Structure 1
Amino acid sequence: MSKRAVLEVIALDAEDAIAAQTGGADRLELVTDIAADGLTPSRETFRRIRASVDIPLRVMLRVADASLTNERSAAGDVDVLVRKARELRGEGAEEFVLGFLDADGSPDLVAVERLVAELNGCHWTFHRAIDRAADRDALRKQLADLPGLDTYLTAGSADGVDDGMTTLVAEAARKGEPGYEPQMLVGGGLRLDHLPRLLAAGIDAFHIGGAARPGGWSAGVDAGAVREWRAVLDAG
């Protein structure tokens, strides 16, 4: 029997989380302020969501600051993120999402390594900053030995899955090579009609935000929309 594909859904609050789990989500990415592409939620929001569902939660570590516009970070921002990570771990958070580039489009190893040290072995996703990297392959190899890194969230392109499909399929074929051991979690303009080709390439993890909200972000996650994705993945 083939392994069930992972379906991760963005949740902003407990209502989103409950609807996503009801629809068949395997995991949630917790963020706030989606207009800023997702920032770290409050401890209170994490606490409410954790009490509402029993599926794994990955918590975004990202703050609103002009220096982070292109996933870049400065030392002061990292201090804030380290504190937030410590607080969230104190609330019981065990999985995280993060990723920063420097001005040259390389991974900001100072920022990433400081946060990873604070996470102390927790599993984490390097998010779509990889889609803005100067060299995706070099980034993967630079991050390969960091503890806890088990997932890359990527669309294959900064412009989304439509433009990144060829890259996604090519990277999926390199599974197991140095830097390519983490699971590829595809998200960013992902649609149901993309799934057949991605599944055929051996990709087994998918991330949706707006696709789980046919009524828009203000309407919240719709369990029926998530259930449709779950059904297509299970049939694929």
Structure 2
Amino acid sequence: MSTRAVLEVIALGVEDAVAAQAGGADRLELVTDMAADGLTPPVETFAGIRAAVDISLRVMLRLWDGFAAGDTEALVRAARELRAAGAEEFVFGFLGEDGGPDLDTVERLVAELDGCRWTFHRAIDRAADRDALRKQLADLPGLDAYLTAGSADGVDDGLATLVAEAARRGEPGYTQQLLVGGGLRLDHVPRLRAAGIDAFHIGGAARTDGWTTPVSAEAVREWRTAIDAL
């Protein structure tokens, strides 16, 4: 069985997806509107990307900036439409006013997804209590990863938290994969790999000039090579 680490790249469209796959990405996170930190893409965008590449795609379910769910019914409709178009993996995560997980919305989406695999995204980095959140979500069907920087301020500030959580892998609430992203740099990778972390998520770092430019296959390949070398 391969132990190759997962490299996930944010894709906004077909050009991004093709370049990410060419550079060695294992999976894509499909979003639109990075000015709002990534929202649900149109079904047509998903369909175009799905036709263009054969690697795994996780589609964002998020209707506006911030970590409140907002219109749960609209989220459920978006999930239903994407499922009907063939989407099989998703990314979402919402907090209530108390800083804990918005279980009502999350459970509605999980029910709609009917066993699809999904990532709880960086809302965990804004949670009032990360450990409590993990334990509340622990048994939800399909949840197999947390996208996290370990801190709302990014990986520089979150490194110690990430290393500590990696050491708890397998405990109740800690069986899901840590997918590290949010200010992630190549120089973070050796320490994270040494801690046993085996999944990495890049967005702007996969591009030659931030979000104004498309994904660069060469940039992705540099990450692939660095991750695999450890």
Q: Which residue of 1 aligns with 2:35?
A: 35
> Structure 2: which 5+ runs fail to align?
none
The 4+ residue runs of structure 1 with deviation greater than 3 A are none
Q: 1:73 aligns with which of 69, 73, 86?
A: 69
Q: 1:153 aligned to 2:170?
A: no
Matches of residues 172-183 of structure 1 in structure 2 within 5 Å? 172-183=166-177
Contact 2:62 2:69 in 1 (8 A): no
Contact 1:70 1:101 in 2 (8 A): no
> Structure 1: which 5+ runs fail to align?
none
Cα distance between partner residues in 2 of 1:71 and 1:162: 22
1:215 alignment partner, SS class: strand
1:10 alignment partner, SS class: strand
Q: 1:119 aligned to 2:139?
A: no
Q: 1:101 aligned to 2:95?
A: yes
Q: Which residue of 1 aligns with 2:134?
A: 140
Q: Which residue of 2 aligns with 1:231?
A: 225
**Amino acid of the structure 1 residue aligned with 2:36:** A
Cα distance between partner residues in 1 of 2:61 and 2:126: 18
**Amino acid of the structure 1 residue aligned with 2:21:** Q
Cα distance between partner residues in 2 of 1:3 and 1:118: 32
| TM-score normalized by the length of structure 2 | 0.98
Cα distance between partner residues in 1 of 2:16 and 2:2: 29
Cα distance between partner residues in 1 of 2:221 and 2:185: 14
Q: Which residue of 2 aligns with 1:26?
A: 26
How many residue pairs get aligned? The number is 230
| TM-score normalized by the length of structure 1 | 0.96
Q: 1:210 aligned to 2:204?
A: yes
Contact 1:185 1:207 in 2 (8 A): yes
Cα distance between partner residues in 2 of 1:205 and 1:175: 13
